[in-house]
Amino acid sequence: MRIWDVPPRRLCRQHLLAEHRELHGLWNILTVHGGAGGYSLHPETRRWMGRTGALFERHRQLVEEFERRGYQHRSPLDRRLAASAWTQRSFVTPLADQVRILTDKPCECLLDPG
């Protein structure tokens, strides 16, 4: 499970869609299951505990990028469940390392989308 911290515009199609899918899974863990379940101890889950507002905002950014690329989005989040902090300052992997990880992948992440 990974929620990137790079701007969604810099993600290739594969990583944009994968993050969106994983974000929905994380959202369910945090809002439906109260942070319990199989991934409750995962570092990425723990990073977002108490930060559903920030996770909602990341989803909004992903959806904005979907629309910019002409993708359809049909899985909104319930804003009423975004009941905690709206900022995320904690990282499992520092941003510079995330950029390096994405740069090393054989995809178009981080290329200037123009």
Q: What is the pLDDT of residues 43-70, one digit of tens each?
A: 999 999 999 999 999 999 999 999 999 9
pTM over 0.85? The answer is: yes
97: left (phi over 0), alpha (psi -120 to 50) or beta: alpha
Residues of the chain above pLDDT 90, percent: 84
Token reading at 85:
């902090």
Run of H or E residues at 27 = helix 13-31
| Stronger pLDDT, 82 or 36, i.e. the higher one | 82
Average pLDDT, the chain: 93
Average pLDDT (7-20) is: 97
CA 21, CA 19: separation in Å to the nearest integer?
5
> In 32-93, which residue ranges form alpha helices assigned H by DSSP?
43-48, 52-69
Q: Give the pLDDT confidence score for residue 11 in this predicted structure.
A: 97
CB count in 10 Å sphere of residue 67:
11
CB count in 10 Å sphere of residue 45:
20
